[in-house]
Amino acid sequence: MAPPNPAGAFFIKITVFHGFQIMIINRDIIADISRDMTEIRHTIHRNPETGFKEESTSALVIRILEKYDINITTGLGKTGVVATITGTQPGREILLRCDMDALNVIEDTNLPYASENCGVMHACGHDGHTAIMLGVATYLAQHRDFSGKVHLIFQPAEERFAGALAVINDGLFTRFPEIDAVYGVHNWPGIPAGTIASRPGPLMACGGSWRMVIKGTGGHGAMPHQTTDPTVALGAIITNIQSIVSRNVSPVDAAVLSIAHIHAGDPDVRNVIPSEVIMSGTCRAYDNNVHSMVFERLKEVAEKTAAVYNCAAEVEVQYGYPAVVNDSEKMKVAEAAAMNTVGAQWDGDIKPVTPSEDFSYYQQKVPGVFAFIGNGESAALHTPKYDFNDNIIPLGIEYFLNIVKLELN
């Protein structure tokens, strides 16, 4: 049995892992805070806001933070909020991140706290992430037995609009230049509730989209010999791009190049060969260099294949978020924090997943780790019946608190 907490202290040393002292956090306090955060989560869920429109969510976050002696910075990424909590001793500075935005999805949960903003819902659990981070702020504001500073970023617009990049471009790391590590979490349906999971190296793919226009002359369907036919070029391009991943990407790497949309001609006009064909799709990879190479090959294969048929192909690419790549040294901190939170339910070798996350932009500035907290057997993310699992709020709070104590002990 662990010795009782001395007066005024709130962590107990119990063992050593990877050279770090493992601490136990007062879970009774976390439980009390989590009950309040659950109600706050329901309020946020009831009033969802999409990217860069999180006005009421930011205002709610600020109202809660203002109850404590916390330095608050606003205006990063328009609606972003940074809470800075200073420990009792000088030391390093770290960044903990959550996201606040919702999605354009019509909710179908029949929950008593279901969305009251028609056509918008928290279908990815960012309401839960915000509640977790507010819980961390509430706890640390009242128990500052750590060295240095903890910056908590309540980030806007993770979905689609790269809110992390907007926050950075608005001066996050120039205002707080001593930040040297970053940590974040995301709930994950299908992973058991009570499990925290991550891995060193690539965790989430970089994403991107492409659009191709194949141009010919078109002409009368009964006289194809007088035309240059972009539909024939299309067929050849579809076949040829299938070799890009299999013959240009190393077998030890991974990439996906998919076609999602094709449009040619008018379905009601059947005797006209169209003069152009439009095709679009997506590309994913776990290595940003592989991702760029696939796009370059896509352009090259399309242009040269179209030329064989006396047509021309133009390819536009749009790069999405970079890959989330976890730092190996910071992974030791995350592993220790997770094991102290959930014990044997820590999974440190989860397989990478193909969705993207703008947390990667922070990792391009400082080393860090992104992890998943199991949401249990819930509906999938981005679906009308999804809901964040309130039971994992205390786990998220405790995990971040363990990060703080390991990094800033």
Give the pLDDT confidence of 39-71 residue by residue, as tens digits.
999 999 999 999 999 999 999 999 999 999 999
**Which of 34, 27, 20 is CA-nearest to residue 5?**
27
| Predicted pLDDT of residue 358 | 98
* Burial class for 377, CB neighbours closer than 10 Å (0-12, 13-18, 19+): exposed
Residue 225: how many CA atoms within 13 Å on its side-chain side? 0
Rounded Cα gap, residues 303 and 212, in angstroms: 10
Could you please state the CATH topology (level 3) that the domain comprising 207-319 is classified under.
Alpha-Beta Plaits (3.30.70)
Sheet (strand 312-319) strand order: 255-264, 276-285, 206-215, 312-319
Q: Where are the domains of the chain?
A: 11-204+323-408, 207-319
Rounded Cα gap, residues 26 and 340, in angstroms: 12
Rounded Cα gap, residues 72 and 80, in angstroms: 11
Token pair recorded at residue 119: 């056509």
| Predicted pLDDT of residue 20 | 52
Q: How far is CA 244 from the centre of its chain?
A: 27
Which H helix or E strand runs over 277? strand 276-285
Per 3-state DSSP, the chain is made up of helix, strand and coil in percentages (nearest 5) of: 35, 30, 35
- Residue 171, Ramachandran bin (φ over 0: left; ψ between -120 and 50: alpha; else beta): left
- Coil, strand or helix at 333: helix
Asked if residues 298 and 315 have their Cβ atoms less than 8 Å apart, the reply is yes
Q: Which CATH superfamily is domain 11-204+323-408 in?
A: Zn peptidases (3.40.630.10)
Rounded Cα gap, residues 60 and 40, in angstroms: 9
| Sign of the dihedral defined by the CA atoms of residues 186, 364, 21, 30, in that order | negative
Rounded Cα gap, residues 56 and 112, in angstroms: 20
**Which of 308, 337, 320, 342 is CA-nearest to residue 405?**
337
Token pair recorded at residue 232: 């024939």
* Helices of type H across 6-121: 27-46, 55-65
Q: Name the stretches of the chain with pLDDT < 70.
A: 1-24
Strand-pairing partners, residue 369, are 183
| Predicted pLDDT of residue 139 | 97
| Predicted pLDDT of residue 25 | 85
Token pair recorded at residue 250: 């190393």
Rounded Cα gap, residues 190 and 204, in angstroms: 16
Q: What is the pTM of this model?
A: 0.89
Rounded Cα gap, residues 404 and 141, in angstroms: 13
| Predicted pLDDT of residue 22 | 43
Rounded Cα gap, residues 290 and 388, in angstroms: 34
